[in-house]
Chain A
């Protein structure tokens, strides 16, 4: 192990902070974008298991957009979104600008997770809420979301873990963070020990997030 100098450790620390910044902010933005989209997908569902406000055309359009975004290879999405990142953040590379493609890649994922979680809510309970004279927004905010909360938390955990993986990939195109560190130092400068440490830190992050997510979800279920 040559050259694990304090400077290198500092670099690892800085990269970890960058990863955390990217992941937390892109989680926030992907939820801001994905949650309403997921709610819309759920309530506009037509047909047999119709939502509370069936709108076949809107549902079809949203569903297509979500599918297209989800099937896009992430690395290509980043490149395509360079202009958008430049427009929003002022630069196409760096931690902050990576948040743009990360959020946009994760938003449709969040939308599907929200849609699935809300559709799992017992239709009888929704019918009861409707029979009591709930408006559609009351059904969404006072019934669907609270009833689905444990699955939403599990879904959020999954989203964060995916984003940690994506953020490492973003390192390949100059996004900063642990992935960037692993590629620039570990791969391009032949420092496998740096790469190994970066990977271990990512693994630990994933484990910690999963653990916390499971705990919150389990505690919630225990109170029901």
Chain B
């Protein structure tokens, strides 16, 4: 389902929460809306998900306008919307399985169909053994998985994630994002992710809109945004971005190449500051292909690490390695 927002405005007692937002959210994609707290994201998601009515502007789902529907039809429309939240918002009076059953109960599914579907959904989120677990016994990640299963129960055509990973640790965040991506592909869902974490946009979204002070200041594909951030708000977000944990080793080295390299060079103290590699290239007939590097502080000492391949004639390579060692750099050679 494709969503179109036309000049949405929503004010709260002199506070302009959303000030004229127009967006086109394409179908079967993951669309991120990023903004700081107070930027109006929460209000915006409440407007798009029909939990609130805009003061002016329009919300369109495919070819039908939905913001001005009468209450009864809005309730019907909401039953085809999935939503997950930062605090999970599960029912503590119900077990995990009963939580997933709730949306189907209110839609008056037959009992045996509910039972069957609960099992299917628990399998989908990989928590089949938790069907009778009280909510308080689940971890944060498990709670969000149950919430996702509940949101998908009535096969919605759009899934809204309101800061869905903000209460989770980085590792759990990655697994939840992976699950959302997997489900999006499997079910052909349109996913709208509201977040203040650039990591979430980078790791999960196809498109993104940057929200600031109730307005969209930048939008486009995530690739374009990362390649050429235009506004200061976006640049600010980028600067807080932690490195992609997948590519960072425990020793702080960032590996950007998928090809395994043969040599690991370690530079200590002042060696870190000297142009060792350039000198070697000028002196010997060898080529460096650097596939990763990083720097670490060990007490007062700085230690640089570089992962690279050195190619050329065998004698040139070994002469170059000797010269590197002479300059006080340790060389480790990986077994090939």
Chain A contact residues, CB within 8 Å of chain B: 122, 124-125, 127-135, 138, 142-143, 146-147, 149, 223-224
Contacts and interface: CB of A to CB of B under 8 A. Distances in A.
Interface string B50-64: 010000000000000
Interface stretch (B86-94, B266-274, B280-288): B86-94
Given A134-B75, A142-B102, 15 more contacts: A122-B87, A122-B89, A124-B85, A124-B89, A125-B92, A127-B51, A128-B85, A128-B89, A128-B90, A131-B49, A131-B160, A132-B81, A133-B75, A133-B103, A224-B93
A73 B92 CA distance: 39
A223 B76 contact: no
Contact of A133 (B76, B87, B90): B76
Given A122-B89, A224-B135, A133 B83 contact: no
A128 B105 CA distance: 15
B26 to A, nearest CB: 22
Contact of A132 (B92, B93, B94, B106): B106
15 contacts: A125-B90, A125-B92, A130-B78, A132-B78, A132-B83, A132-B103, A132-B106, A132-B151, A133-B81, A135-B106, A138-B106, A143-B91, A146-B91, A147-B91, A223-B134
Nearest to B93: A146
A147 B92 CA distance: 7
**Which 7 A-B pairs rank lowest in CB-CB distance, beginning with the nearest?**
A133-B79, A133-B78, A128-B89, A146-B93, A124-B89, A131-B83, A132-B103
A122 B85 CA distance: 13
Contacts of B259: none
B107 interface: yes
Interface string B131-158: 0001110000000000000110010000
Given A133-B75, A142-B102, A146-B94, A127 B107 contact: no
Contacts of A125: 89-92
Given A125-B90, A147-B93, A224-B93, A134 B85 contact: no
B150 to A, nearest CB: 8
A146 B81 CA distance: 24
A131 B91 contact: no
Nearest to A150: B93
Contacts of B136: 224
Contacts of B81: 131-133
Which of A128, A138, A146 has most chain B Cβ within 10 Å?
A: A128
Contacts of B77: 133
A130 B51 CA distance: 8
B89 A127 contact: yes
A133 B106 contact: yes
Contact of A135 (B75, B94, B103, B160): B75
B92 A224 contact: yes
Contact of A224 (B79, B103, B134, B151): B134
A161 B138 CA distance: 37
A132 B105 CA distance: 11
Contacts of A129: 91, 102
A149 B91 CA distance: 12
B75 A128 contact: no
Contacts of B106: 132-135, 138, 142
Contacts of B135: 224
A129 to B, nearest CB: 8
